[in-house]
Structure 1
């Protein structure tokens, strides 16, 4: 056993001892300590990874039993800070019960409810609140979610953000419950949050984009109301310098991720490099999420935020800087950016779609999108500015050769890669994968590259074991090892409705035929763009489930059609298509767009049009 295993074993023992001796208050704190220790694990498996599967199941069962006993204890109490902690770790809480011998939290209703004559169960509102902490959206019964929607905002907020923090919804019931929360998200707007909710709020703000519901971005509007209240509680106040037009304005880049290999760098580094030619660029980024040599090469100055810095200090630094423009390359991955973005610290505030979804706040003046993405402008609350180019990517690693030899599987199966992270694996997509396996006349073996680790790896594997006959849940690996395994696959499927971008860059570079989905929303356009850039035929991109299914089946059964795609990719200089600007003017296209916005801000704001295009006349 490792020292981490020893710590978890010890904490489980201590938790059991406290519960059996009815030291309930201590038991609650020990549970929080155990969850914290479990969340630090990054191995492919969850708790006790060196132990046999039955021993791990027994450990999950012990924890679930102790949670059940705590909740049923007559002196059970939990304070708001502890609840906020639990809401930020809700995926783990849910997984503990699913992976245990209980196979879900269903017994909690029977233990805590009042049994009626008709065999229904009645719960008090405080019981609804506590029990819901342990239910996933997939397991949540209608009777319980109806009670949840009647809770006061202060109790509803941690539950809602907890459910949106949980990134994996795999059942139609779960998607229906998620949709019901979206349609009632306004109920959280009156909540009086505590700072302890920030972690869960951040995850929920990002993860609501993965829901399969046309109105999913409404959740952000409601969360933004709560963010502003948190800003007030933390003493963070917006203050913007007066609008001015100068020759070399200051552009603050409020970056959430700036590390080598991250999708943000792969998608935007070539664009950011342009900005210094017309702006004084200052990058503000958390020290733990930046590769210093990269950030310092891209920008004139870099301000590193150290762990523990308070929001008032961040706000004071921005005010002192007096930026002419604040640019958010992405929104959704860091607490501080969401808190700052809901206030005004600059006369012009712009975002791009590093996390491809709108911010839904009136403090963002413009969302700058690449060519063709303006067709999804109807989703956005802010004005949408469409660039004149698609943009370009940079390699994950300049030294990697994508032409390396990779041994194919020779087992008579068609190996299908699903190189989409776990939050993108929607119930609708997983149902389609099951249909492919059932109806394919050739044996199919799925490889899920879900970027899952720890308890979530165990949980997803359990779900897949019940749904697929032949699959591999691939563990997280370094990029070169990931590519080697991915290249062995015959076909790749991009999940939907939230699609891929950089994952499809990878499959094109490797010569793996890919099926993609296009819906008229910005988060599903990336695959289509990449495949257009490399010249792949349009029939590989579908706009409905049935066409997607038929395209996947064609690539699985038609060796000639599949090989034609492989041969086309081999004959194409994919690196040149993706990593070099297609036109000379694209060398400055991104900075020209920012300069155009900066010089024409008043006219853009005065225009009644929602979608405007860089360089074109600005209509009144």
Structure 2
């Protein structure tokens, strides 16, 4: 199926309605796909309509689209081919949002229209009906009877539905979290699936987004997705090819970088460490075009750019030609090519760090390299976990260096709380706690959600917040400098949980906003604590229970003097030195020292009975 050229949403909607009303079902399906493509490429920070559009106009637009989808799939001559199914599966979050934003307020009517009504009031659906209808149900709306049908689907149909649900960037209801947990517990059912090209991007997103679930075994789906990735690699001619291990004075280190653009969170988190590597390794950075900028090339000896659409076999061939002694993944979870390559063996030593702080769940990842004190909560990470001697500092964004904090706050009688977390991190537990804060606060609360939402998802999240909070602002995407100017006007920041923040908490500290965070028992729930410690903030701001979090927020709401004291601590602290410089001169080689130690001691480390070790220290037997 070729991508549509037309991008005028209103015009496409008019043509879609005309085709549906004239019962031109085949043309209607094609126009629907064009409309969805246009909506997915419309990146307006204020939804799919102009900012001046009223809630009624927004609702009417989505109702028109939902009505046409309903008419199409209920039509007796409704048919879609495999390519169209892939297209719809890859846009599942948008399909869900369309119905929930419409006057239907969900796809519930589709179940009644398509199913056979039983004497007991239940509905019976054929397998193909279960699949098609489930494309339009969010986890928050999915009823138990439809979930039961979903779990009976063959692997090739279950896979696109499951990855679509895990790709969904926003689960906001307790029922949605329960449904997500059910899928996690049945994820092995997808392992025999043979994915089509159309859902590879959704698989990539699902592999990453499972980390945002609120389930103790949430990463298990990665084991199942890894099985699918390995099958896909085999079909694409991509296979392991590893040169024999030979120690050398200057080993070749391949850095598979998912993101390495100046200003990106990956660059901010790892540039200081990457700078060290050239002293002891010949470094080659491999990155996809568009995800690395020229101003980061000088971190490496060589840069190998992968062109868009490059065949899998060619990626493997390029790595084999490099003959790396070590492969290092600064992150895993944001690109399909890294997930494929990481499931294979291309170097005698392979390691990752926690750029997207979640485990790879594959035996080909020998080591996870973590900061001091993180090993204790890294039981799922790598065959071995190695703690560095020191935590590398962050690389400052150019706008941070130029930014001067303005002390002017909002002056409307409300206390302004910043939620500086992307929409994937806004879990049902966290949002319920925000509702409780608003309900029990002695003074009016105004939330500022910096959710990085755009297009349809901006409209969807705004609708949810309109129903849950009295005063809120869903902040649109801005330049980094513009974002800091809004953030600094808030009184307190709340880090979402259970996933937590890292760079976002750096930002709140830099603009002197006291931050409350959640400290969990896994790396992705511990970094806020470490950043707050780095900034000199008290440990009680990082809480280990929901109730403790709530009480800490209420303490700050009720005690203006305490808030002022914390602000003054941040103001008087040399935050730029603490965040952006090494604490001691001997730490300036800790990153490269750790990777060299792993390289030199690989066999001994693998033979050790210990799972967590500290770089440079004696290796347990």
Instruction: Name the TM-score, length of structure 1 as normaliser.
Output: 0.98
In 2: Cα distance, 1:404 partner to 1:218 partner: 43
Residue 6 of structure 1: CA displacement?
6.7
In 1: Cα distance, 2:495 partner to 2:241 partner: 43
| 1:402–1:509 contact (8 Å) kept in structure 2 | no
Cα distance change on mapping 1:381 and 1:468 into 2, 3 Å: same
Residue 571 of structure 1: CA displacement?
1.2
Which moves more between the two structures, 186-195 or 21-30? Answer: 21-30
In 1: Cα distance, 2:552 partner to 2:473 partner: 22
Match of 2:498 in 1: 497
Match of 2:24 in 1: 23
Match of 1:578 in 2: 579
Residue 202 of structure 1: CA displacement?
0.4
- Paired residue secondary structure (2:363): coil
In 2: Cα distance, 1:379 partner to 1:432 partner: 29
Structure 2 unaligned blocks of 5 or more: none
Match of 2:117 in 1: 115
Alignment partner for residue 258 of structure 2, among 256, 272, 281?
A: 256
Match of 2:294 in 1: 292
Match of 1:386 in 2: 387
In 1: Cα distance, 2:583 partner to 2:282 partner: 27
Within 5 Å, which residues of 2 pair with 1:191-340?
191-294=193-296, 296-340=297-341
Cα distance change on mapping 1:241 and 1:343 into 2, 3 Å: same
In 2: Cα distance, 1:436 partner to 1:261 partner: 33
Is residue 2:555 matched to residue 1:554? yes
| 1:377–1:610 contact (8 Å) kept in structure 2 | no
Cα distance change on mapping 1:259 and 1:472 into 2, 3 Å: same
In 2: Cα distance, 1:484 partner to 1:401 partner: 12
Match of 1:602 in 2: 603
| 2:283–2:301 contact (8 Å) kept in structure 1 | yes
| 2:366–2:382 contact (8 Å) kept in structure 1 | no
| 1:110–1:121 contact (8 Å) kept in structure 2 | yes
- Paired residue secondary structure (1:138): coil
Match of 1:459 in 2: 460
Residue 595 of structure 1: CA displacement?
0.3
| 2:399–2:480 contact (8 Å) kept in structure 1 | no
Is residue 2:178 matched to residue 1:176? yes
In 2: Cα distance, 1:550 partner to 1:228 partner: 47
| 2:7–2:38 contact (8 Å) kept in structure 1 | no
Is residue 2:598 matched to residue 1:592? no
Match of 1:189 in 2: 191
Match of 2:423 in 1: 422
| 1:195–1:230 contact (8 Å) kept in structure 2 | no
| 1:276–1:299 contact (8 Å) kept in structure 2 | yes
Match of 2:103 in 1: 101
Is residue 2:375 matched to residue 1:370? no
| 1:237–1:343 contact (8 Å) kept in structure 2 | yes
In 2: Cα distance, 1:569 partner to 1:362 partner: 43
Alignment partner for residue 148 of structure 1, among 150, 153, 166?
A: 150
Match of 2:567 in 1: 566
- Paired residue secondary structure (2:481): helix
Match of 1:447 in 2: 448
- Paired residue secondary structure (1:177): helix
Within 5 Å, which residues of 2 pair with 1:405-554?
405-554=406-555
- Paired residue secondary structure (2:27): helix
Cα distance change on mapping 1:189 and 1:63 into 2, 3 Å: same
Cα distance change on mapping 1:415 and 1:399 into 2, 3 Å: closer
Cα distance change on mapping 1:591 and 1:441 into 2, 3 Å: same
Residue 82 of structure 1: CA displacement?
2.1
Residue 51 of structure 1: CA displacement?
5.8
- 1:180-225 CA-to-partner distances (Å, cap 9, x unmatched) read 0001101101111112220100000000000000000001000000
In 1: Cα distance, 2:35 partner to 2:401 partner: 40
- Paired residue secondary structure (1:288): coil
Residue 381 of structure 1: CA displacement?
4.7
| 1:84–1:200 contact (8 Å) kept in structure 2 | no
| 1:128–1:148 contact (8 Å) kept in structure 2 | yes
Residue 404 of structure 1: CA displacement?
2.9
Match of 2:343 in 1: 342
Residue 232 of structure 1: CA displacement?
1.2
In 1: Cα distance, 2:260 partner to 2:37 partner: 26
Cα distance change on mapping 1:133 and 1:172 into 2, 3 Å: same
| 2:368–2:382 contact (8 Å) kept in structure 1 | no
In 2: Cα distance, 1:6 partner to 1:101 partner: 24
Residue 275 of structure 1: CA displacement?
0.4
In 2: Cα distance, 1:255 partner to 1:564 partner: 41
In 2: Cα distance, 1:49 partner to 1:182 partner: 39
Alignment partner for residue 77 of structure 1, among 76, 79, 86?
A: 79
Residue 363 of structure 1: CA displacement?
0.9
Structure 1 unaligned blocks of 5 or more: none
Alignment partner for residue 157 of structure 1, among 140, 156, 159?
A: 159
Residue 5 of structure 1: CA displacement?
9.9
Match of 1:397 in 2: 398
- Number of residues of Structure 1 aligned to a counterpart in Structure 2: 616
Is residue 2:90 matched to residue 1:88? yes
